[in-house]
Amino acid sequence: MNFRSFAARAGLIACGRLGDGLTSDFRPGKCNVMPYRHAYWYLVALFPLVGLAFWPTYFAIFSTSPAALHAHAAAGTLWIAILAVQSWMIHHGRREFHRQTGIASLGVFPIFVAASAAVVVLMARQFAGKLSPVAVAYGPRLGLGSIGLTIGFVYCYWQGLRQRRKVHPHSRYMLATVVFLLPPIFVRLLRFVPLLDIRGAQDLWKLALNIQLANILVAVFVFILAWRAGKHGRPFVEAGTVILVDDILLQAVGVKASWQGFFALLASIPLPAAALAAGAAGIIVAYCGWLAGKRATPRAETAPA
């Protein structure tokens, strides 16, 4: 090993530990440590879990599901796919393709936010119209929870854009956006756990327990990631905190008569208006994050924009 190669590896030791799942750029003078070199495998593994979780409530009745649910499902699927592709590309030296795929996220992001808003309005309509026992018993709570998860998703993406020139916060904030897609998946997967399955109206009380268990499981997982990340764990700490606060509000505020009355009022909002307003807000957030990232002064630790 020549001196310059040795110096590059010494630079790695200064900015990240060998063997901790990091992929690094060994060019002399560079310290571009890319964390989570196998993240794309975990992201790809979410697809069969999504299929299993949402089969009875979405895929099995695909043809009769509202367009807002289709848009939400498509945008969420594209989002996970984009992050998986980006993760694979950056760890295989395809930096330019990584950037181009990242630009695609600027288009998918407002669509996901718009579809999320439309889904909340749909939930409000189901609650106001008393269209199902689940909607009546849990509609306001699930709606509030969905709003909180969307806010966390938006915040982490904004931070990911704003800090896209810094390897550690950028990569972790972008991966943290997926955290807010996990609770709905986990809630539905818990029905396969004995004693937690819901077979009829007599078991509806279990849904509140499943929601709390799902949020706790996700929060614990995210806090473990934060602990393992050491000084770079702030994105996961913030994501896990949002999950816990969202769960507390969902269970404490979601049952209040005042919130239920307000939630019922959301049913009167036209779906296109809700989607357009939320989509416009998503565009503004993405634009602001992009500009903030361009204005940022690059440091020694940099990542592709």
Q: pLDDT digit string (tens) for 83-121?
A: 999 999 888 888 888 888 888 999 999 999 999 999 999
Both 104 and 60 in one domain: the answer is: yes
7-64 confidence digits (pLDDT tens): 334 333 333 332 233 333 433 334 456 788 889 999 999 999 999 999 988 999 988 9
How far apart CA 193 and CA 291 sit, in angstroms, is: 46
Is 148 among the domain residues? yes
Is 254 among the domain residues? yes
Report pLDDT for 100: 85
How far apart CA 201 and CA 133 sit, in angstroms, is: 7
Both 106 and 144 in one domain: the answer is: yes
How far apart CA 97 and CA 108 sit, in angstroms, is: 17
Q: With beta carbons less than 8 A apart as the criterion, state whether 150 and 180 touch.
A: yes
- pLDDT-derived band at 183, boundaries 50, 70, 90: very high
Both 16 and 86 in one domain: the answer is: no
The three-state secondary structure class of 71 is helix
Report pLDDT for 123: 96
Is 301 among the domain residues? no
Report pLDDT for 45: 95
Task: Please tell me which of 27-36, 175-184, 194-203 the model is most confident about, judged by mean pLDDT.
Answer: 175-184
Whether the per-residue pLDDT at 188 is higher than 60: the answer is yes
Alpha carbon of residue 267 to chain centroid = 26
**81's tokens:** 């796919």
20 or 267, higher pLDDT = 267
Both 37 and 13 in one domain: the answer is: no
Both 149 and 217 in one domain: the answer is: yes
Give how many domains the chain has, as a whole number.
2
Determine phi and psi for 194, rounding to 5 degrees.
-55, 140
Both 121 and 234 in one domain: the answer is: yes
Both 124 and 265 in one domain: the answer is: yes
Task: State the CB neighbour count (10 A cutoff) for residue 109.
Answer: 26
214-251 confidence digits (pLDDT tens): 999 999 999 999 999 999 999 999 999 999 999 999 99
Is 300 among the domain residues? no
- pLDDT-derived band at 79, boundaries 50, 70, 90: very high
Both 12 and 84 in one domain: the answer is: no
How many residues in total does the chain contain? 305
Of 198-202, 207-211, 237-241, the one with minimum mean pLDDT is 198-202
Both 84 and 173 in one domain: the answer is: yes
Amino acid identity for residue 62 in this structure? F
Is 302 among the domain residues? no
Q: With beta carbons less than 8 A apart as the criterion, state whether 204 and 133 touch.
A: yes
Give residue 210's domain range. 32-295
Is 81 among the domain residues? yes
Both 155 and 245 in one domain: the answer is: yes
Both 230 and 198 in one domain: the answer is: yes
Name the average pLDDT for the chain: 86
Residues 174-199 have a mean pLDDT of 92
Both 40 and 5 in one domain: the answer is: no
Task: State the CB neighbour count (10 A cutoff) for residue 273.
Answer: 12
Report pLDDT for 190: 92
